[in-house]
Amino acid sequence: MIVELESDWITGELILPIPHEIMVAMEWQEGDTLKWVDNGDGTFSLKRYTLKWVDNGDGTFSLHSNCGTAECCQEC
């Protein structure tokens, strides 16, 4: 499937339209935050980026994400 980039007519920023079939298959919704991930081998992935609070077990909580980077903890 080939998808052409669109351009925002006000800012000139490029927009990658995601076809409905892909949105359904990935269980993405309009308004989701997606992260562009460099796989390090010349390819890229799009991943849904979500935040959640994780109980540290000591009465404190930390904000974690499923960002797919080394900074992210195993609990995410």
- Over the stretch 4-36, which tens digit does the pLDDT of each residue have? 999 999 999 999 899 999 999 988 888 888 888
Q: Tell me the pTM.
A: 0.55
* Residue appearing with tokens 């000591």: 58
CA-based nearest residue to 16, from 34, 43, 37, 39 = 34
Confidence of residue 67 (pLDDT cuts 50, 70, 90): low
pLDDT score of 70 more than 50: no
